[in-house]
C-alpha cells in the first residue's frame, strides 16, 4: 500500500465516525477519538489510530459496551470508585480523571480507582488533563498478562504503566509515561516486524532462560520487568507492576494479575475471573495544596554534561539528551 498522509482533522473525523457507527453517543465518540489520537500527536504510533480496529473487534465480540452507564459506586471527599459498565477505556478514564480533578479542587487531592473498563490508550493523555488546572496528574492501568515476575516462567502481570504529569509554566511540562517492563510491548513489536534480535533483558523463553528472540512471546516466553533479571533489579520492576495492579484493580474490584482481559479480540477471556473488566487508577493533586503554583513552576534549567553515549536505536530516529528543569525532565518521547 502506498504511503499516504492524513491531517489530524481527517483522522479525527474518521475515528469519531467509527465510534459513532458502533453506537457511541456523539459526546463519547468525540472523547474516544481525542483520547486515541493523543497517542499519534505525541508520537506513540503504536497506541493511536493504528489500534482503532482493535477496539472495533472488541465491540464486535461484545466485550465493549458502546452505550455504557459510567457511574461512581463509592466515594469519600478525596476518593471514588468508578464502574465503567464495560465501556471504552478511552471514555471512562477521562470521566474518572474529571472526578479526580474536581475532588482535588475541593480537598487538595483526588484519587479514583476504576473497575469494569477496557484499554484506555496512552496513560499520558489522562494524566495531562490535570496540567491546565495547575495540578499534578497521575494515571495507571493494569493490562493482560505478558510479563513474568522475577524467577517465574508464568506470565502474571501486564506491562502496567505509570504516568505522572506536572506543570512547568512556560517550559514543557514534566511527563513521564512508562511501562514497568524493560521494554513496552509496542517496542518489541517493532523488532518483530524487522526480525531484529532484542537486547538482553527484554524477554525470556518458555523455560525462563534469557532470550534475544523478538518472537519469544509466541512460543511461551514473556516480557521481563524493568531491570530484566535479578542482578539488574527486575524485582523492582516487578514490584512497581504489582503496585499498579493494587491501585488499579485491588482497590476497584477489577480483574488483576493473570485474569486481566486481553486486548486482541481473538484471544479467549481468562476463565474464572475474580473481578470486573480491567482496572485504572487516576489521581490529581493541586500544586497549591502544597505551595504556591508559581513557585513550583519557576524554572531553573540545569544542564548537565552529555556523555556522548547516545546511539541510534531500531525504529527511532533520534533522542534528546534530557535536561532537568527544576528537577523535571523535559517532555520527550523515548
**Distance from C-alpha of 202 to C-alpha of 232, rounded to nearest angstrom:** 12
Least Å distance between CB 157 and a second copy?
8
Site string for a second copy, 224-263 (x = CB under 8 A): --xxxxxxxx-xxxxxx-xx-xx--xxxxx--xxx-----
Measured from the CB atom, the residue of 58 and 157 that comes closer to a second copy is 157
**Distance from C-alpha of 177 to C-alpha of 182, rounded to nearest angstrom:** 13
**Distance from C-alpha of 153 to C-alpha of 7, rounded to nearest angstrom:** 45
Gyration radius (Cα) of the chain, Å: 20
Measured from the CB atom, the residue of 29 and 228 that comes closer to a second copy is 228
Judge contact between 165 and 136, C-beta under 8 A: yes
Interface region with a second copy, contact rule CB under 8 A, candidates 24-32, 59-67, 262-270, 324-332:
324-332
**Main-chain phi, psi angles of 196, to 5 degrees:** -100, 135
Question: Where in 198-227 is the site for a second copy (CB under 8 A)?
Answer: 199-201, 204, 207-209, 226-227
Least Å distance between CB 214 and a second copy?
14
Interface region with a second copy, contact rule CB under 8 A, candidates 6-14, 30-38, 122-130, 148-156:
148-156
Find the binder of a second copy among 22, 50, 178, 265 (CB under 8 A): 178
Residue 259: CB partners within 8 Å, gap ≥ 6?
270, 272, 273, 274, 275
**Distance from C-alpha of 179 to C-alpha of 47, rounded to nearest angstrom:** 13
Find the binder of a second copy among 9, 266, 268, 309 (CB under 8 A): 309
Question: Where in 86-145 is the site for a second copy (CB under 8 A)?
Answer: 106-109, 111, 113, 136
Least Å distance between CB 21 and a second copy?
36
Least Å distance between CB 45 and a second copy?
18
**Distance from C-alpha of 273 to C-alpha of 261, rounded to nearest angstrom:** 9
Pairing of strands 324-325, 162-166: unpaired
**Main-chain phi, psi angles of 290, to 5 degrees:** -115, -50
What's the half-sphere exposure (Cβ side, CA atoms, 13 Å) at 125? 29
Measured from the CB atom, the residue of 61 and 73 that comes closer to a second copy is 73
Pairing of strands 109-117, 79-83: parallel
Measured from the CB atom, the residue of 98 and 326 that comes closer to a second copy is 326
Local structure of 70: helix, strand or coil? coil
Measured from the CB atom, the residue of 89 and 149 that comes closer to a second copy is 149
Measured from the CB atom, the residue of 49 and 175 that comes closer to a second copy is 175
Least Å distance between CB 217 and a second copy?
16
State which H helix or E strand residue 190 sits in.
helix 185-194
Local structure of 76: helix, strand or coil? strand
Sheet-wide strand order for 301-302: 301-302, 324-325, 328-329
Find the binder of a second copy among 94, 278, 287, 331 (CB under 8 A): 287
Measured from the CB atom, the residue of 61 and 196 that comes closer to a second copy is 196
Interface region with a second copy, contact rule CB under 8 A, candidates 12-20, 87-95, 123-131, 302-310:
302-310
295 touches a second copy by CB under 8 A: yes
Question: Where in 6-65 is the site for a second copy (CB under 8 A)?
Answer: none
Which set of grid coordinates corresponds to residue 312? 541510534
Least Å distance between CB 92 and a second copy?
16
Site for a second copy (CB under 8 A): how many residues? 93
Beta carbons within 10 angstroms of residue 151's beta carbon: 11
306 touches a second copy by CB under 8 A: yes
Amino acid at each position: 500500500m502506498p504511503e499516504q498522509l492524513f491531517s489530524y482533522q481527517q483522522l479525527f473525523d474518521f475515528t469519531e465516525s467509527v465510534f459513532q457507527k458502533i453506537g457511541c453517543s456523539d459526546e463519547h465518540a468525540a472523547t474516544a477519538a481525542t483520547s486515541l489520537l493523543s497517542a499519534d500527536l505525541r508520537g506513540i504510533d503504536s497506541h493511536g489510530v493504528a489500534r482503532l480496529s482493535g477496539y472495533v473487534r472488541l465491540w464486535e465480540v461484545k466485550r465493549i459496551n458502546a452505550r455504557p452507564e459510567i457511574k461512581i459506586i463509592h466515594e469519600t471527599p478525596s476518593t471514588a470508585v468508578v464502574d465503567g459498565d464495560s465501556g471504552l477505556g478511552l471514555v471512562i478514564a477521562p470521566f474518572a480523571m474529571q472526578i479526580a480533578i474536581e475532588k482535588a479542587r475541593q480537598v487538595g487531592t483526588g484519587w479514583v480507582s476504576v473497575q469494569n473498563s477496557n484499554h484506555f490508550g496512552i496513560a499520558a493523555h489522562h494524566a495531562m488533563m490535570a496540567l491546565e488546572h495547575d495540578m499534578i496528574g497521575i494515571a495507571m492501568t493494569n493490562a493482560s498478562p505478558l510479563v513474568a515476575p522475577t524467577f517465574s516462567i508464568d506470565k502474571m502481570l501486564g506491562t502496567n504503566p505509570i504516568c505522572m504529569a506536572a506543570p512547568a509554566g512556560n517550559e514543557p511540562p514534566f511527563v513521564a509515561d512508562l511501562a514497568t517492563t524493560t521494554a513496552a510491548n509496542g517496542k518489541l513489536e517493532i523488532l518483530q516486524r524487522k526480525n531484529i534480535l532484542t537486547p538482553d533483558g527484554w524477554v525470556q523463553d518458555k523455560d525462563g532462560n534469557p532470550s534475544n528472540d523478538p518472537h519469544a512471546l509466541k512460543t511461551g516466553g514473556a516480557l521481563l520487568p524493568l531491570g530484566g533479571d535479578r542482578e539488574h533489579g527486575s524485582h523492582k520492576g516487578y514490584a512497581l507492576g504489582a503496585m499498579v495492579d493494587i491501585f488499579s484493580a485491588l482497590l476497584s474490584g477489577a480483574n488483576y494479575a493473570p485474569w486481566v482481559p486481553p486486548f486482541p479480540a481473538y484471544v479467549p477471556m481468562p476463565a474464572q475471573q475474580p473481578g470486573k473488566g480491567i482496572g485504572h487508577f487516576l489521581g490529581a493533586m493541586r500544586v497549591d495544596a502544597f505551595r504556591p503554583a508559581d513557585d513550583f513552576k519557576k524554572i531553573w534549567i540545569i544542564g548537565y554534561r552529555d556523555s556522548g553515549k547516545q546511539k541510534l536505536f531500531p525504529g527511532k530516529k533520534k533522542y534528546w539528551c534530557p535536561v532537568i528543569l527544576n528537577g523535571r525532565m523535559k517532555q520527550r518521547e523515548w
